[in-house]
Structure 1
């Protein structure tokens, strides 16, 4: 099964601060699944490192106030293209990110407050029939995949 994965979760140094966030639990599953690593922010033309960004309503704003909504939308569209190209039905994305967060994201105040909501990429993938989960659900990956295969 092909699965879109936030590149940072595989240790790729593409986060806003130039680091990765390797998930050992995810890395262990690379033998079982075909992961397609993506960084929507980079695919949208943003640099690494870059200032932190958060969603405020329908906009994505950098900590210095610059609007990067268009870059986030472009990166989401490119990620969707890859998901469709590789027939991915599932995406494992970085939680709370303004791009990849699903269900919970930072509130736009840059204070670490969490609100209900989806990042730009998570929303576009979900709207196009791709199941999105965060890294905290990796321990349920086998059950999720089995359930998907049985439907």
Structure 2
């Protein structure tokens, strides 16, 4: 049975920067839970960040690939560099995925860790741009298919196709 890595905040755990969760109520996710497929993980907690914590964004003009390559940082609004925590968390997520044989992940969109399609632009002005967070990028770089909370149907389709193959 193939496993699905899922952001802890999407499973109702209060691990987001503001101490909240963003639980999703999707029947497919509930079925995966019942089947024992879910591997619940928060890369930011795994990377050593507390709850609550200041928000953080990849610096303007940079990408998750730049952060992973050591060419860019992830900063708080006050300018604190939290890059090491995010990179450590991304590596922990990859290790967890490998340990459980995960091929599919459903992660929280817009996060500097978990964003799969878009992230905030680094100015803390609430603007988003196309791109990925560091965990989503690292997982993709190692063959894990990454989806966001609005793409559970697509993740289920990918999983079903992988199991039929």
Instruction: Report the TM-score when normalising by structure 1.
Output: 0.94
Would you say the 8 A contact 2:55–2:77 is kept in 1? yes
**Which 4+ stretches in 1 moved above 3 angstroms?**
none
Aligned counterparts of 2:153 and 2:160: Cα–Cα separation in 1: 13
**Two-structure CA RMSD over aligned residues (Å):** 1.4
1:31 aligns with 2:45: no
- Provide structure 1 residue ranges, at least 5 long, that are not aligned to the other structure: none
Report what 1:95 is aligned to. Answer: 109
What is the number of equivalent residue pairs in this alignment? 151
More strand by share: 1
- Provide structure 2 residue ranges, at least 5 long, that are not aligned to the other structure: 63-71
1:42 aligns with 2:45: yes
Q: What's the offset of the Cα at 1:78?
A: 0.7
Q: What's the offset of the Cα at 1:93?
A: 0.3
Aligned counterparts of 1:47 and 1:99: Cα–Cα separation in 2: 15
Selected match of 1:54 from 54, 57, 62: 57
Report what 1:143 is aligned to. Answer: 157
Instruction: Report the TM-score when normalising by structure 2.
Output: 0.86
Aligned counterparts of 2:39 and 2:79: Cα–Cα separation in 1: 32
Selected match of 2:133 from 113, 116, 119: 119
